[in-house]
Structure formats: structure tokens, C-alpha cells
Amino acid sequence: MFEKIKSLINEIDGFTPNVKDELEQFRVQYLGKKGVLGDLFAQMKEVAAEDRKEFGRLVNELKNKAEEKVNLFREKFEEQPADTSAVGDLTLPGVSKAPGSFHPITIVRNEINRIFSRIGFNVSDGPEVEDDWHNFSALNFPPEHPARDMQDTFFINLDPDKEHYNGQLALRTHTSSVQIRVLDNEKPPVRTICPGRVYRNEAISARAHCFFHQVEGFYIDEGVSFADLKQTLLYFAQEMFGADTKIRLRPSYFPFTEPSAEMDISCTICKGEGCNVCKHTGWVEILGCGMIDPAVLENCKIDSKKYTGFAFGMGIERITMLKYTVKDLRIFSENDVRFLRHFQGVN
């Protein structure tokens, strides 16, 4: 009996686990509920009285040695760094992560900002939720103007008890509202551009969306003329689309400018030869512009006898489509990474 315990003690002394699992097995085998030690304690009753003392001493020794072993190796395994054998060949190149990209609308907006900042324009901002005054009335829209119609404008119903629009707020339909916002706080000379998102109640198609982006620009000072407008826009068109770009202005109408015009550029795709994009005319429209109507200046408490100004507004989607030959503007809001990846590294 004593010999058997001694040989178990020897076994414990000689035990060296290589991995954590082996140590755990050892612990269960000796110290576990149904382990060696438990058996020995159970046999204690059957041991002859005179041998009991020696038996107890040996069993205790066995218990201490087993516990020491477990504690010693538990610490060792805990200290060991994580097993890296599964990582594989560390000399192989790492897995590369694709960098993100700016959205093409952001890229073109930034480019517009840079082009105008080079000739002294700063950047202004205004709210997307607008009141009637800033979006329409101050800009000389007569009360019955069709743009105020529920067809075009997303009105915001502030009073849930009333079924219909109560005439207070709407999502801005154009960035021209920022002209009025800026002039609430600043007086001429003012030379600024206002990029931002606008909303219209339109059916979504390849050429129209219920939200899109515009950049408004305007310059008010003493003696600002239509010639200044034309030269500014020529400079912009050539910086944006290349030095060989031509512009032409066609008479038009906007409530807030007089005279008003629309500007075309020579087709960026066919260079004026005629193609699908320019519908074989050689020209594509990119913006509306004109001399700020004196009534608008007066609405903003600016002396229209002393000051004159020009204004223009363009759609960023349109500029982007021409610059990058995008045929369907819906792709700008689809978040398709295969499309967005084309713009990696551009800012």
C-alpha cells in the first residue's frame, strides 16, 4: 500500500506538461472529485490503526506535490504569449485594406470652391429647412408663382392637427435662399458661393431627383456689371472643363434676376462636334444667372441705386455628370462601392 503511494508521488515528481490541456488532465486525475486523492481518502478507514499515521502523511505529501505542480505550471502557461503557430508565414506581404474615397459630388463641390476662392469668393451656408421669405418672397417670387405649388415644393406641416401645409416652412428648393440669408447679416461688398443640398417634389429619373445639390454664387458691390458676370463664368468654365471650353449666354427668366440668362458650355464630350449628350447641338446648359433684381436688393435693405450685383446657380450633379461622363444621376445616391471606387485618391 505504502509502495503504491510512493510510486504515485514519484510519478507526480516526474510529470512535466507540454500544453495547458495536459496539465488540466493531470489535475483531474489526481485532485479531481473522483481522482486518486479522493480514492485514497476513502481507503483511510480500512487502513490498520497502526499504519494510519504513515498513510496520512504520505497521502498529504501526494496532495501537496500535486497541488504545487498544478500551481507552478498554471502560472507558466498563463505567462506564455499567445500561440502564433497558426498565423502562417510571417514573411508574406500583409493583406491590404482599400482606402475610402470622397463622393464625386464632394469632389466637384470642393473643386468649385477652390476655383472661386482663387478670385476672392468665400463660402457661405444656409439652412435646408427654409421659410417662405428666404426661399421665395424675398427673391421676388410673386404669390401665385407655380414654384410655390405643392407639386414642386416639399412643405413641412408644423401643425399635425391640420391636414395641409400651414405656409410656414419648406425644404429649400434652391440655394438662392442663401443669398437672402447672407444679406441678413452682411452688407456689400459681398462675394460668396453657397454650395448645398436642395429638394424638389419631382419624379426620380436618370435626369431628375427629389434631392440634389446646387452652388449659388453672387457678387454685390458698386459698379458690378454683366461683363463681370460673363468673365467670371468664362473663367469658371475654363478652370472646370479645360482652357478650350467656350461659353454662350441665352436670354432667360428668373424672378430674382433682371436681365436673366442661361449659360451653355461647348460640349465636353464631343467638343462641339455633336453627340448624344449635347443632343447634336454642340452645347450643354450648365447654369442660370443674371443681374440681381433691384427689388431683391431692396428686400435685403441694400440701396439698389448705389449697389448692383450678379448671381448664378448651378447643379453640382450636372457638372459632375459632364466632368466624369456619368449618364444617370441616380447612381450618386445608390452608394455602390464599385462606382465610388473610381474616385479613390481624388479630392
Q: How far is the CB of 189 from ligand DAH (least distance, A)?
A: 17
CB of residue 313 vs ligand DAH: minimum separation in angstroms?
Answer: 2
Backbone phi, psi, residue 251, to 5°: -60, 145
**Residue 247 C-beta: closest distance to ligand DAH, Å:** 15
CA–CA gap between residue 117 and residue 316 (Å, rounded): 17
**Which among 130, 124, 110, 14 is positioned nearest to 65, based on CA atoms?**
14
Closer to ligand DAH by Cβ: residue 126 or 290: 290
**Between 176 and 192, CB nearer to ligand DAH:** 176
Residue 26 cell numbers, joined: 493531470
Our CA dihedral for 15, 20, 24, 29, rounded to 10 degrees, sits at -30
Return d(Cα 152, Cα 341) in angstroms, integer.
Answer: 34
| Residue 26 or 212 with smaller CB distance to ligand DAH | 212
Query: For residues 67 and 152, which CB has a smaller minimum distance to ligand DAH in the complex?
Result: 152
Closest CB 254 distance from ligand DAH, rounded Å: 4
Minimum Å gap between C-beta 258 and ligand DAH is 10
Residue 73 or 317 with smaller CB distance to ligand DAH: 317
Shortest separation between residue 100's beta carbon and ligand DAH, angstroms:
31
- E strands in the chain: 122-123, 129-131, 155-156, 169-171, 190-199, 211-221, 247-254, 257-266, 283-292, 308-315
d(CA 263, CA 278): 14
SS3 40: helix
Query: Applying CB under 6 A, which residues contact ligand DAH?
Result: 174, 176, 216, 254, 257, 288-290, 311-313
Task: Give me the residue whose beta carbon is nearest to ligand DAH.
Answer: 313
Shortest separation between residue 287's beta carbon and ligand DAH, angstroms:
7
Q: Can you tell me whether residue 195 is helix, strand or coil?
A: strand
Contact 261, 285 (CB under 8 A): no
Task: State residue 245 phi and psi, 5-degree precision.
Answer: -75, 135
Look at residues 134, 192, 186, 195 and name the one whose alpha carbon lies nearest to residue 310.
192
Nearest CB to ligand DAH, comparing residues 176 and 266? 176
Nearest distance, CB of residue 225 and ligand DAH, angstroms: 15
Give the helix, strand, coil percentages of the chain, each rounded to 5: 40, 20, 40
- 65 versus 318: smaller Cβ distance to ligand DAH: 318
Shorter beta-carbon distance to ligand DAH: residue 17 or 196: 196
Contact 278, 267 (CB under 8 A): yes
| Side chain identity at residue 338, one-letter code | R
